[in-house]
Structure 1
Amino acid sequence: MTAPFRYPRFFVTSPTPCPYLPGREERKVFTELNGQHAGELNDALGRIGFRRSQSVAYRPSCAGCTACVSVRVVTEGFRPNGTQRRVLKRNADLEVHACRPWATDEQYELLRRYLSSRHPGGGMATMDEGDYSDMVEQSPVNSFVVEYREPTVDGRRGKLVGACITDQQADGLSMIYSFFDADGADRPGLGNFIIMDHILRAHSAGLPYVYLGYWVKGSRRMDYKTRYRPIEVLGPGGWSDFDPDADPVPVHAPRMRELA
């Protein structure tokens, strides 16, 4: 009997400075996603803490550090708190469309403004149009771009104020990368709205989880991910309820081959 997909080969990147915790180094274990079973492989790896970037699935594999912890929201139990309900109400007029994974100039310009405002010195700051197109379009799995627009007026499509590159997995939605009008004073909390919109849409579609990537204890940039409850974290024994006072625990990576 033929297996649904061959066992993937894993590799490890060389260490680079950690973008979240000063003075530390990061490295990643990764494998390629290709062929007719790329989606099935991506689903399986997503359940053990991998993330997708273009046609690669990766997970942190840092020597002596386990600060990065995979987190996912349990959609059935999500109940927005007072602040979150106000964010939902404030942005309820936005028009939301799940578009095919095709990069547009409008999306790229929004991304450039977002990076300039929120991450001016980050690793994505030098992205050009080609880099963005690759990020969106080089997907071997079921992906789409969720666009958030101001209301249509007199038949004219509203301004694009937010977007999220999203994968639909067998058990949920995986938010690959979101960006939005970070300087929009009339719509504070837009990033939070995009996350909650994904949670509510996943629940409506019968999908139990929304994967938010990695939470890093001690990194203020990551604090927002734990505001959506109930949320689960991935440890050696599998997924469990989030405990904000617990120390991160390691998840052992599969056997791998070092890259020079």
Structure 2
Amino acid sequence: MTDPGPDPGPDCGPPAAWHRNAGRCVLLDGFHALKHALRFGAEVPVAVTSDRAGALALADELAPDVREVLAGLLTEVSREAYASLVARPHPTAVAALAVRPSRAAGLEALARTPRRAPVVVLDQPRNLGNAGAVIRLAAGFGATGVVTTGTLDPWHPTVVRGGAGLHFATVVERLEVAGLPPGPLFALDPEGEDIRGLELPDDALLAFGSERSGLTPELRARADRLVALPMRPQVSSYNLATSVAMTLYHWSAGGGAPRVP
């Protein structure tokens, strides 16, 4: 029988490393969240999986650019140990912790002008999954960042899961309306001008209210222009992420498409 070696004890091994880092890190839930975070420079102190061979096979197929990094980072643990670290096990059986980017650096990037891409502002969003989907969209379009107002934490684990780890590809911060970055603010509202007749500048703030209550009076007062998306009569609204996607596509169609390094 092969000697399994000494019992590592409660202060050693991946679960202990996980608990040591949990307070300063955000959860990367699943292979794709970890893949994206690594691609965009996240610092990942610990990553675990209950199926290392399966995770590396996914990397071979979908992310060969980070396969070597993943191979050196992923530690296999039992299914029980993996399940004890995450509230809702992911189908890919991968989880990791990443250090949240510097808030000071994020605020500096938001304030820097001229910008090459808009900032998306979610005015008091309510749905964690929708917020994550918006961050994923913003990263895909190369937006400068996503700012939320109100009480929702844009770095909540459910938001990070919905964003597939792409929080690390753009700036994500929570601010008061009075502290929004500089730039002309275009707020989406059914009473606004038809977006099809407008050109959205690269340095714009694109603001979206919650699906239930729309824009807050404070955000509406800060807006330079109200903008409306085309919508069939008697249709109440679009999903938040859909509205953001339509608006960012309109911006990108004017020449603001993502730039490949």
TM bucket normalised to smaller: under 0.3
**Higher RCO, Cα 8 Å, sep 6+:** 1
Give TM-score scaled by structure 2 length.
0.23
> Higher helix fraction: Structure 1 or Structure 2?
2
> Higher strand fraction: Structure 1 or Structure 2?
1
Give TM-score scaled by structure 1 length.
0.23
Q: Specify the structure having the higher radius of gyration (Cα).
A: 2
